[in-house]
């Protein structure tokens, strides 16, 4: 069962115009009925992700696993066994986590470049950050243009806790950043296929030097050593930046004059106009922006009983804290302020929101829109782009529920 991919027909209509909303609700149920009849068998979990809760995830492929929208709870933190996976290369052999403390990372572009083991890093500092980890393509499944790539809806995201050493502490211990450097460039430790130019496949991403301030070299996620699935034994964590910038199995962290020339940086993850090819002059997918969505009630729970309902979901600001969330039960015609519940785990974490509402008999289009502390409002429409990145449209994320 992949409830959200089955509701794409509705979402496409929904994205069109406000007047299509009522019809959209009906379209949704027709679409679901058709899709259920033809639903393919669920794919099995790949071995490296065998600890995932199969009931809580959608296995798109051996390297792409999505959290079901209905599985997001209200406890802020996404449990490791529900968190999405997106690997750009095959997962390394488990031997790299056999002796975690022995893993080495080369630090370059500092005054005293050197290689450091995880054991050495653990002596240099300790910090913990909670943040939203989100794939650049989360929400791609809502693009009517059907961009190529995994058709994620909302579940290529989670809120997790990382522990490690602040990058700034490591840099300080190595004499500071070398003069003139403007990027922080991380390189993954995946084994590359032989016989081809490494630049075409390697995972290497550059972020602005300013991102160093809150970045970690992390060895722990959600209270456990980072699993192989999530980049253990060591991962570069760049809070507020999309998933691909958080380099798994990091083997080199370099401060550089230029952006990486790896294809994944120069051409991958670029915001290209629809119909165009990507190139290095286009904006790179890096900082996340304000976004929210509702996780309950959902249409896949079936027809709801009329009466009180707790409409809840998640909201985050990317680089900034969430200031507030509004919820609509009429497809965006009117909005009410939702209540933020549960602990505030810092500006990079998401917040849970709840609106208590009476839903009478009928079809209701439920939507949420968040505002960050800088006053940025989550937009109604997505920013169209060739590859389906950065979808923050509240209309795309709306859900239609039927009450009888």
Binding site for a copy of itself (CB under 8 A): 53, 56, 72-80, 82, 122-130, 161-163, 220-225, 307-310, 312, 341-346, 349, 352, 354, 356
Cβ neighbours, 10 Å, residue 34: 12
Cβ neighbours, 10 Å, residue 47: 11
* Residue number, 330 or 344, with CB nearest to a copy of itself: 344
Shortest separation between residue 327's beta carbon and a copy of itself, angstroms: 13
Shortest separation between residue 161's beta carbon and a copy of itself, angstroms: 4
Q: What Å distances lie between residue 314 and 79, 104, 250, 290, 317, CA to CA?
A: 15, 37, 30, 11, 11
Q: What Å distances lie between residue 33 and 5, 38, 56, 242, 402, CA to CA?
A: 13, 9, 21, 34, 15
* Residue number, 13 or 218, with CB nearest to a copy of itself: 218
| H or E, element range at 225 | strand 224-225
* Residue number, 12 or 235, with CB nearest to a copy of itself: 235
* Residue number, 140 or 351, with CB nearest to a copy of itself: 351
* Residue number, 3 or 332, with CB nearest to a copy of itself: 3
* Residue number, 76 or 202, with CB nearest to a copy of itself: 76
* Residue number, 16 or 225, with CB nearest to a copy of itself: 225
Shortest separation between residue 317's beta carbon and a copy of itself, angstroms: 16
Q: E strands within 109-182?
A: 114-117, 127-134, 157-166
Q: Are 202 and 257 in contact (CB under 8 A)?
A: no
* Residue number, 101 or 261, with CB nearest to a copy of itself: 101
Cβ neighbours, 10 Å, residue 358: 10
Shortest separation between residue 120's beta carbon and a copy of itself, angstroms: 10
Sign of the torsion formed by the C-alpha atoms of 86, 89, 94 and 96: negative
Shortest separation between residue 55's beta carbon and a copy of itself, angstroms: 10
Shortest separation between residue 358's beta carbon and a copy of itself, angstroms: 10
Strands 216-221 and 224-225 come out as antiparallel
Q: What Å distances lie between residue 196 and 67, 94, 95, 312, CA to CA?
A: 34, 24, 25, 48
* Residue number, 73 or 268, with CB nearest to a copy of itself: 73
Shortest separation between residue 305's beta carbon and a copy of itself, angstroms: 9
Q: Are 155 and 82 in contact (CB under 8 A)?
A: no
Shortest separation between residue 76's beta carbon and a copy of itself, angstroms: 6
Shortest separation between residue 208's beta carbon and a copy of itself, angstroms: 25
| H or E, element range at 353 | strand 351-359
* Residue number, 205 or 235, with CB nearest to a copy of itself: 235
Q: What Å distances lie between residue 53 and 47, 71, 113, 220, CA to CA?
A: 13, 10, 42, 20
Q: What Å distances lie between residue 58 and 6, 61, 152, 160, 228, CA to CA?
A: 12, 9, 10, 19, 19
Strands 104-108 and 250-256 come out as parallel
Shortest separation between residue 131's beta carbon and a copy of itself, angstroms: 10
Cα gap 120→115, rounded to integer Å: 10
């Amino acid at each position: 069962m992949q409830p959200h991919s089955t509701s794409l027909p509705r979402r496409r209509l929904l994205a069109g115009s406000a007047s299509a909303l009522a019809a959209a609700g009906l379209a949704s149920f027709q679409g679901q009925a058709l899709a259920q009849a033809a639903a393919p068998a669920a794919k099995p979990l790949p071995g490296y992700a065998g600890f995932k809760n199969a009931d809580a995830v959608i296995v798109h492929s051996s390297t792409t696993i999505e959290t079901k929208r209905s599985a997001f709870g209200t406890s802020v933190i996404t449990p490791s066994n529900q968190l999405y996976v997106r690997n750009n290369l095959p997962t390394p052999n488990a031997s790299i986590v056999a002796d975690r403390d022995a893993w080495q990372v080369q630090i370059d572009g500092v005054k005293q470049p050197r290689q450091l083991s995880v054991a050495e890093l653990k002596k240099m500092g300790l910090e913990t950050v909670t943040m939203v980890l989100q794939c650049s393509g989360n929400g791609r499944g809502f693009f009517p243009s059907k961009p190529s790539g995994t058709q994620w809806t909302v579940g290529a995201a989670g809120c997790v806790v990382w522990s490690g050493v602040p990058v700034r502490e490591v840099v300080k211990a190595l004499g500071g950043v070398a003069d003139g450097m403007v990027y922080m460039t991380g390189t993954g430790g995946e084994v590359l296929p032989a016989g081809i130019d490494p630049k075409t496949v390697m995972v290497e991403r550059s972020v602005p030097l300013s991102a160093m301030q809150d970045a970690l070299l992390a060895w722990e996620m959600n209270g456990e050593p980072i699993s192989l699935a999530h980049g253990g034994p060591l991962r570069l964590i760049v809070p507020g930046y999309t998933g691909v910038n958080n380099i798994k199995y990091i083997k080199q962290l370099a401060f550089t004059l230029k952006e990486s020339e790896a294809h994944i940086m120069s051409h991958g993850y670029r915001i290209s106009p629809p119909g165009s090819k990507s190139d290095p002059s286009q904006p790179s997918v890096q900082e996340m922006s304000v976004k929210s969505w509702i996780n309950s009630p959902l249409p896949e729970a079936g027809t709801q009983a009329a009466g009180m309902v707790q409409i809840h979901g998640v909201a985050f600001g990317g680089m900034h804290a969430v200031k507030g969330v509004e919820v609509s039960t009429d497809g965006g015609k009117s909005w009410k302020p939702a209540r933020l519940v549960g602990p505030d785990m810092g500006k990079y974490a998401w917040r849970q929101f709840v609106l208590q509402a009476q839903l009478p008999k009928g079809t209701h289009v439920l939507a949420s829109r968040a505002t960050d502390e800088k006053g940025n409002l989550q937009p109604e429409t997505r920013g169209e782009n060739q590859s389906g990145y950065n979808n923050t449209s509240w209309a795309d994320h709306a859900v239609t529920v039927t009450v009888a």
